[in-house]
């Protein structure tokens, strides 16, 4: 049977499902296929960052996610059984996001939230279906796959998005590189129930050990923790290890009272740090682990894939609707490869420090890290700088084709629209839920922009606000902010014609070479 759609998504992990829900939000038809028979039964990626929760809020599923997860209130650093530092994480991002915390939510729950959202909107994943090959030309993509009965099916689409993981067949067939390296150490992850007089709160516990670390993340439910650590050198990674094989080793290393009640999940893995050279080729794109994989430092991987989808979906949607030119679609690869490159550098540095991958970092970590973390714990300014980095709310596309170099007060073009709350209790994001370009006017005068933009194909919503937060914009007033559909700032300033110039630049023009 032949099918026709606008976008084919390969892979129904968090990235593929996020791509699907964003296309649904943009009223774009799609087919999503997945070789597995259902969502993952495992907890896998555990941390949902604030920027992901902001995206979930636009979908109406943020509160459900929070109710099923557990926010982490503090981080405790131990060495040789003694607590060396503690950082209060409650409200770490207060005033920076409506979700000023990191949420511990198992990947299987995150995937189910997204699948349920699709089902509620009468869209289903084609499970037990595996892509076998695809081809593309200037006008479309043809995808061949085997369905759950083993029968080969064909789909004609305008675009293909590969969200099929680190071993991506789509990336391989696109001929894209996947450069980077693999950390020589073997790591383990376990979800456990435990009793302890020390590890007994909704807090993160980090135990520094020679040549590594052991992390305890609080999970939803009483005495429920995720453990991540470095496999002892004596253990052979080629063997089929069980949690019971390293249980005593963990107790000896943390040197605090600890009794394991139950091991719910256990796995060993190698840490990879790799990135594709491009995220697109013709009408085909890659996202998530298919495009980049990271060390687990900072809980960034899954959230980055979700942001890939958030960035790409609106661009494909605008292109399919004939609103924007082809250069807009090219910004996906440009923006997200740059973000992935920066993220790999950041997570690699964090991971080197945490895991003591060489003698230098091991010395620094064991001798100075506690002092550094103690200083961070006392510095509100440093904490306010850390939150945007970890939460991914601080990502900026300042060098993008879609950005005009401009600023008002502390706010520069390229950043996500800053979060703030009005005097009546409403948040700025309450007005910015639609996946459209938006022009915001902040000031006392009237915003007379209707005539200026009436001939554009691009859909625009207009918003006026008289209340202007001085903490962000100082005493400036009567200025404009042009927001992209993903609420990153394209222009901020007093010249409305700059907004018009940007929208004209990116608009579809049948006579243009980049149409």
Q: What is the CATH number of the domain that holds 479?
A: 3.40.30.120
Residue with more model confidence, 347 or 309 = 309
Q: Is residue 116 part of a domain?
A: yes
d(CA 453, CA 368): 57
Domain match, 297 and 423 both: no
Which residues are CB-contacts of 229 (< 8 A; sequence separation ≥ 6)?
187, 188, 212, 213, 214, 215, 250, 253
For residue 166, list its beta bridge partners: none
**Mean of pLDDT over the chain:** 89
Residue 392 placed within a domain? no
Residue 190 has pLDDT above 90, yes or no: yes
Range(s) of the domain holding residue 296: 2-70+101-179+274-352
If asked whether residues 464 and 332 sit together in one domain, one would say no
Tokens of 332: 């996906």
Q: Return the pLDDT at 492.
A: 98
Confidence of residue 384 (pLDDT cuts 50, 70, 90): confident
Domain boundary pick from 352, 375, 394: 352
Tokens for 119? Answer: 């089902």
Token pair, residue 141, equals: 């993509």
Q: pLDDT digits over 23-78, tens only?
A: 999 999 999 999 999 999 888 888 999 999 999 999 999 999 999 998 888 889 89
The first and second tokens of residue 253, run together, are 């290393």
Do both 346 and 420 map to the same domain? no
pTM for this entry: 0.91
Asked if residue 129 belongs to a domain, the reply is: yes
Whether residue 286 sits in one domain with residue 143? yes
Residue 122's pLDDT is: 97
Question: 273 and 183 in contact (C-beta within 8 Å)?
Answer: yes
Name the pLDDT band for 349 (thresholds 50, 70, 90).
low
Q: Is 186 helix (H, G, I), strand (E, B) or coil?
A: strand
In this structure, the answer to whether residues 299 and 421 fall within a common structural domain is no
| Residue 247: predicted pLDDT | 94
User: Which residues 6+ apart lie within 8 Å of 442 measured at CB?
Assistant: 464, 465, 466, 468, 473, 477, 478, 479, 480, 481
Count structural domains, the chain.
2
Q: Is the pLDDT confidence value at 237 over 60?
A: no
CA-based nearest residue to 482, from 501, 455, 456, 510:
501
Number of Cβ within 10 Å of residue 81's Cβ equals 12
Instruction: Please report where in the chains the tokens 């996946």 appear, as a residue.
Output: 435
Q: What is the model's pLDDT at position 270?
A: 81
- Note the pLDDT of residue 86: 83
Most confident of 314-318, 366-370, 497-501: 314-318
Q: Point out the least confidently predicted range of 30-39, 308-317, 340-349.
A: 340-349
Domain contains 493: yes
pLDDT value of residue 71? 86
Question: Which of the listed residues 334, 352, 370 is the one where a domain comes to its end?
Answer: 352
Residue 463 resides in a domain = yes
| 45 and 136 together in one domain | yes
Note the pLDDT tens digit of each residue in 275-285.
Answer: 999 999 999 99
Instruction: Based on the fold, state whether residues 450 and 305 are members of the same structural domain.
Output: no
**Of residues 3 and 182, more confidently modeled:** 3
Is 443 found in the same domain as 324?
no
Which of residues 330 and 90 earns the better pLDDT score?
330
Q: Is residue 122 part of a domain?
A: yes
With tokens 């409200």, the residue in question is: 91
pLDDT digits (tens, 9 = 90+) for 436-489: 999 999 998 766 555 667 778 899 999 999 999 999 999 999 999 999 999 999
**Cβ–Cβ < 8 Å for 157, 31:** yes
Q: How far apart are CA 426 and CA 428, in angstroms?
A: 7
Q: Are 153 and 144 within 8 A, CB to CB? A: yes
One domain for residues 37 and 157? yes
- Other beta carbons within 10 angstroms of residue 36's beta carbon come to 15
Nearest to 105 by CA among 166, 60, 47, 41: 47
Percent of the chain with pLDDT over 70: 87
Evaluate whether residue 198 is within a structural domain: no
Q: Residue 288 above 90 pLDDT?
A: yes
The pLDDT value recorded for residue 120 is 98
> For 388-440, what is each residue's pLDDT tens digit?
988 999 999 999 999 999 999 999 999 999 999 999 999 999 999 999 999 99
Q: Is 420 found in the same domain as 335?
A: no
Per-residue pLDDT tens for 96-117?
A: 999 999 898 999 999 999 999 9
Instruction: Looking at the structure, tell me whether residues 347 and 431 fall in a common domain.
Output: no
Residue whose C-alpha is closest to residue 331's, from 223, 488, 97, 457: 488
Least confident of 110-124, 157-171, 454-468, 489-503: 454-468
Output the pLDDT for position 243. 94
338 and 420 share one domain: no
Name the packing angle between helices 50-59 and 380-391 (round to 10°): 50
Alpha helices (H) in 289-401, listed in sequence order: 301-320, 326-355, 359-378, 380-391
Residues 495-509: what's their mean pLDDT?
93
Q: Is residue 397 part of a domain?
A: no
Q: Distance between CA atoms of 474 and 178, rounded to whole angstroms? A: 45
Give the domain CATH number at 123: 3.50.50.60
pLDDT for the residue numbered 319: 97
d(CA 61, CA 98): 14
């Amino acid at each position: 049977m032949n099918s026709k759609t606008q976008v084919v998504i390969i892979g129904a992990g968090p990235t593929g499902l996020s791509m699907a829900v964003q296309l649904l939000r943009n009223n774009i038809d799609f087919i999503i296929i997945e070789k597995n028979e259902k969502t993952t039964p495992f907890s896998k990626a555990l941390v949902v960052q604030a920027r992901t929760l902001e995206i979930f809020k636009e979908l109406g599923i943020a509160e459900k996610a929070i109710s099923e997860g557990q926010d982490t209130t503090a981080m405790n650093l131990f060495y040789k059984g003694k607590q060396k530092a503690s950082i209060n994480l409650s409200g770490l991002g207060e005033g920076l996001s409506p979700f000023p915390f990191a949420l511990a939510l198992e990947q299987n729950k995150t995937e189910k939230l997204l699948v349920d959202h699709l089902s509620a909107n009468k869209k289903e994943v084609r499970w037990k279906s595996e892509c076998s090959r695809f081809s593309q030309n200037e006008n479309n993509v043809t995808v061949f796959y085997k369905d759950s009965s083993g029968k080969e099916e064909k789909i004609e689409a305008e675009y293909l998005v590969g969200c099929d993981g680190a071993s991506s067949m789509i990336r391989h067939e696109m001929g894209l590189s996947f450069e980077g390296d693999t950390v020589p150490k073997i790591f383990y992850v376990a979800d456990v129930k435990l009793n302890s007089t020390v590890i007994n709160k909704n807090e993160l516990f980090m135990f520094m050990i020679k040549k590594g670390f052991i992390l305890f993340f609080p999970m939803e439910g009483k005495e429920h923790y995720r453990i991540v650590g470095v496999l002892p050198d004596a253990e052979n990674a080629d063997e089929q290890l069980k949690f019971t094989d390293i249980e005593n080793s963990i107790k000896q290393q943390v040197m605090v009272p600890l009794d394991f009640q139950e091991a719910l999940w256990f796995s060993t893995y190698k840490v990879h740090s790799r990135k594709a050279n491009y995220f697109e080729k013709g009408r085909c794109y890659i996202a998530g682990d298919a495009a980049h994989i990271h060390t687990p430092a900072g809980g960034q991987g899954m959230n980055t894939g979700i942001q890939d989808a958030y960035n790409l979906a609106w661009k494909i949607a605008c292109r399919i609707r004939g609103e924007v030119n082809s250069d807009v679609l090219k910004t996906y690869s440009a923006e997200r490869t740059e973000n992935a490159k920066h993220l790999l550098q950041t997570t690699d540095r964090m991971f080197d420090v945490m895991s003591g991958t060489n003698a230098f970092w091991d010395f620094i970590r064991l001798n100075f890290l506690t002092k550094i973390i103690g200083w961070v714990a006392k510095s509100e300014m440093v904490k306010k700088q850390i939150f945007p980095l970890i939460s991914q709310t601080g990502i900026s596309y300042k060098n993008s084709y879609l950005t005009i170099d401009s600023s008002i007060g502390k706010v520069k073009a390229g950043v996500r629209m800053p979060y703030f709350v009005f005097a009546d209790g409403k948040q700025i994001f309450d007005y910015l839920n639609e996946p459209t370009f938006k022009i915001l006017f902040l000031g006392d005068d009237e915003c007379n922009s209707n005539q200026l933009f009436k001939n554009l194909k691009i859909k625009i919503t207009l918003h006026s606000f008289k209340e202007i937060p001085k903490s962000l914009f100082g005493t400036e007033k009567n200025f404009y902010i042009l927001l992209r559909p993903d609420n990153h700032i394209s222009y901020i300033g007093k010249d409305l014609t700059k907004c018009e110039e940007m929208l004209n630049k990116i608009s579809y023009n049948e006579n243009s070479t980049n149409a």
